[in-house]
Amino acid sequence: MTLIELNIGQRATITDVLGTGPVRQRLLDMGLLPASEIIMERIAPTGAPVWIRLEAMQLALRRNEATSIIVEPLASKTEVQA
Amino acid sequence: MSSAAQQEPAPLQVALAGNPNAGKTSIFNQLTGANQQVANYPGITVEKRWGNFQLGDAQVALLDLPGTYSLTPFSPEERVARDALLNDNLDVVVVVIDSTQLHRSLVLLAQMMQCGVKVVLAMNMADEAQKAGQKISLQALEKHLGCPVVETVGSKGQGIDNLSQAIAKAAASNNHPILNLDQGLGAAIDRIGSLLPAEMAPPKIGWPHACSLVTPILKNASKKRVRLRSFLSRRNKRARLCKKKRARISTSS
């Protein structure tokens, strides 16, 4: 599934970063690498942009950036935030 | 190399590299006594600036660079940083990282270590990391990375003496690690490199540099041969610098 399908508070591991060119390169450069663990922090009312956290780094992503990141949700650790 | 640099009037060339907002300019100001503008948000430094300071008997020319996330530039100021890091003949590169953002910061460190330059890691904002409850073992990092690691707080001037000592130590050592993460990629670049004119072949100074030489060639070559030719002549100067660097590396190892 893609990153944008995560629920708020859900943890996931990145399995792949799709796309080409500078945007993909930038995401990889910023540490969104396969096997990194992320948490979905917040989602805008319209469904995007989304706000994710990777260790101490917080990052807002546009819809098309978020849909280009393939993730594997960590099922057991779903926690719903207020 | 460095003992030669100490006898000659030529100063040690040291650069500060790191992610945007890691505190490079704060450390620059602390080391050189300069007063370059700093702020608590990224993107203040957009051009390279030189400063000087005395390190024992040696004179050091310190280069402050705009922040960059990797050696693949995304914006003009990142290109400034990339070009300086790859093409200026630097004796030591100090990679300044935000200690609270290790995951993101180590990408650039890894790339710098793949380039075969002498690297010193400055873990800046150490106080912030401590406040956030992070415990980082410098010894363990040093052991795994093979490069000197120091904690600094650029805004308060802490750890600056340790940093300059580490720079001196790194400059004096002839034994620095060259990171080789991916054997396959290295082999592929070597193969592409063997097809290029001899003076263009990627030197053994790591894939970021090699990629920066090879990938644009592939892109341009598919379009027009004329463009390739003009491209090659434009890159000739850079290739000569590479050659110099390669010679330097082979003599120092």
In A38-57, the residues whose Cβ lies within 8 Å of chain B are: 54-57
Nearest CA in chain A to B110: A29
Report the C-alpha gap between A62 and B2 in whole angstroms.
48
- What would the pLDDT profile of A11-33 be if each residue is shown by its tens digit? 999 998 888 777 888 888 888 88
Check residues B138 and B111 and name the one with the higher pLDDT.
B138
A16 touches chain B (CB under 8 A): no
**pLDDT reading at A51 higher than 90:** yes
| Strand ranges in A1-82 using DSSP code E only, listed in sequence order | 11-17, 37-43, 50-54, 57-61, 69-73
Rounded Cα distance between B159 and B26, Å, is 12
Task: Answer yes or no: are the C-beta atoms of B2 and B171 closer than 8 Å.
Answer: yes
Partners of B72 on chain A (C-beta within 8 Å) are 25, 29
HEC states along B144-155? HHCCCEEECECC
The count of CB pairs under 8 A between chains A and B is 37
How far away is chain B from the Cα of A21, in angstroms, using its nearest Cα? 10
The answer to whether A6 and A12 are in contact (CB under 8 A) is yes
Please indicate whether, in this complex, the C-beta atoms of A26 and B74 are within 8 angstroms of each other.
Answer: yes
Highest mean pLDDT among A64-68, B115-119, B142-146, B175-179: A64-68
On the CB side of B166, CA atoms within 13 Å amount to: 25
Beta bridge partners of A13: A37, A72
List, in sequence order, every beta strand (DSSP E) within chain B: 12-18, 49-55, 58-64, 92-98, 118-124, 149-151
Out of A22, A29, A54, name the one closest to residue B107 (CB): A29
Interface test with A, best of B74, B104, B215 (most A CBs within 10 A): B104
Give the whole-angstrom CA distance, residue B114 versus residue B93: 12
Residue B253 pLDDT > 90: no
Distance from CA of A47 to the nearest CA of B (A): 26
Residue B152 region by backbone torsions, left for phi larger than 0, else alpha for psi between -120 and 50, else beta: beta
Q: pLDDT tens, B3-17?
A: 544 455 578 888 898
Supply the ipTM of this predicted assembly.
0.75
- B95 pLDDT band, cuts 50/70/90, is very high
Q: Per the CB < 8 Å rule, is B72 touching A36?
A: no
Closest CA of chain A from B253, distance in Å: 30
Mean pLDDT score across all residues of chain B: 75
- What gap in Å lies between CA B100 and CA B123, rounded to an integer? 9
Flag whether residue A21 sits within 8 Å of chain B, measured between CB atoms.
no
Q: Are B116 and B41 in contact (CB under 8 A)?
A: no
| The pLDDT of residue B223 is above 50 | no
The answer, as to whether pTM is greater than 0.80, is no
Lowest mean pLDDT among A34-38, B34-38, B47-51, B206-210: B206-210
C-alpha span between A37 and A73 (Å, rounded): 9
Tens digits of residue pLDDT in B50-76: 888 888 888 888 888 888 888 777 788
